[in-house]
Structure 1
Amino acid sequence: MHRTLLWLLATAALAGSAGPPARTAMPAPPPAVGEAARTGGRPWPVPGTPVVVRTWNPPATPYGPGHRGVDLAAPPGTEIRAVAAGRVTFAGPVAGTGVLTITLDGSGSPPLRTTYEPVRALVRVGERVAAGQLVATVETEEAAPAHCKEEGCLHWGLKRGEVYLNPLALVRGGHARLLPVWGV
């Protein structure tokens, strides 16, 4: 319970303001999967220094407008790696677009789920994957979201139950610590 609360607080702190869609380089990402494992961080789903094509903008209501993930610049054929260890719980088309969902190990109840699209999955439902493992490749431009058609991108999402979260919290985060407040 306490770990889940701390994680939610860290996610909320990292979410910041949604603001308009932006194209910005992420600060100091791990340069390689091996380096991420060595430093205790999580690998990014795309290689190199990811560029955010569109930011996370959570909807105000369940069916309201917004952007329920982030888009990372990734041309067709880009290798996609699992951000954390887990089990593949979906791999297939949704409305003609290839989608991969991985339910993350040890992430509480309900567990966290990451989604990647548009992709061609290289893993199957039920398969266990390790952090940094190659799991998919970005599909052709025809399957890309409209705002990514020219350059290509990976839409990367994160959910706990029915609640959308900012997936950048998985790679940008540190550990949130609550300090005692004396005299309260």
Structure 2
Amino acid sequence: MRASGDGTGGAVPGRGAGAGAGAGAGRAWGGVGWRVGEGVGRGRGVGVGPPGEATEPPAPTPDDPPPRLARVWPVAPRPPVLRGWAPPATPYGAGHRGVDLGAPPGSPVRAVAAGRVAFAGRVAGRGVVSVDLAGTGDPPLRTTYEPVSAPASVKKGTVVAAGAVLGTMEVPPAPAHCPVSCLHWGLRRGDAYLNPLALLPPWLLRGSPSRLLPVLGVPLPGRPAS
């Protein structure tokens, strides 16, 4: 029977072996393929795609802390903070949407960081200059300075560097925002107001950057003292 050569006797083992090997290989490959596919899918989900595929960073939100990109105070030398940032409990509630910095009329007002002027004009009788900070996302961080008398060269679209003079402190109309002359400095992203002091790096908050000073009277390593 096995020697008859009609294939009947050998067909059953043949199908069994073929099916068993095929199913086993299929299941094994299926398992590997699922894991590989899942890994690639997850990788692309976080922006690791094939070469040439463009990815975009996540859009900033008001909850993201502002980057410490300020290079100068708006008014120099380091001004006293007459009133700090006090965000309102509700969008239209009472609060203080910025900080007040003591500065006499005529003081130069400077852009704290590089950007582009978004507005320069008068609002409710006060001179106002707003600057969208470069490289801070969409919508960008916007700093606002008032009361400021801006020259004709500072207008919407003007590109400014960190430390560029935006104008000078003007005498505010009554009623005054502060009991003494002050600059109101604000920061917002879209409709959300933020603390402008968060733009200042620690060395500006302390007062001045660290400097390396020469050490006198100490011999260099390996040399005898003279």
Instruction: Determine if the TM-score, normalized by the shorter chain, exceeds 0.5.
Output: yes
- How far apart, CA to CA, are the structure 2 residues paired with 1:97 and 1:162? 21
Equivalence for 2:142: 113
Matches within 5 A, 1:7-22: 8-9=64-65
Amino acid at match of 2:168: T
- How far apart, CA to CA, are the structure 2 residues paired with 1:143 and 1:101? 22
Equivalence for 1:142: 173
Secondary structure (helix, strand or coil) at the match of 1:113 reads strand
- Equivalent pairs counted in the alignment come to 144
Percent identity between the two aligned chains: 56
- How far apart, CA to CA, are the structure 1 residues paired with 2:161 and 2:66? 23
Contiguous gaps of at least 5 residues in structure 1 = 15-39, 175-184
Matches within 5 A, 1:76-95: 76-95=105-124
CA RMSD of aligned residues (A): 2.5
The 1:116–1:41 alpha-carbon spacing in structure 2 relative to 1, beyond 3 Å, is closer
Extract structure 1 runs of 4+ deviating beyond 2 A. 1-5, 141-148
Equivalence for 1:68: 97
Render the CA deviation track for 1:159-184: whole Å, top value 9, x for unaligned: 0000000000111459xxxxxxxxxx
Render the CA deviation track for 1:131-180: whole Å, top value 9, x for unaligned: 001111111143673323xx300000000000000000111459xxxxxx
Higher relative contact order (Cα pairs below 8 Å, separated by 6+ residues)? 1
With the length of structure 1 as denominator, give the TM-score of the two structures.
Answer: 0.70
The structure with more radius of gyration: 2
Equivalence for 1:127: 158
Match status 1:164 vs 2:193: yes
**Shift in Å, 1:121:** 1.3
Render the CA deviation track for 1:44-63: whole Å, top value 9, x for unaligned: 11011210000000111111
Of 39, 44, 49, 2:78 maps to: 49
- How far apart, CA to CA, are the structure 1 residues paired with 2:164 and 2:89? 34
Secondary structure (helix, strand or coil) at the match of 1:154 reads strand
**Shift in Å, 1:3:** 9.0
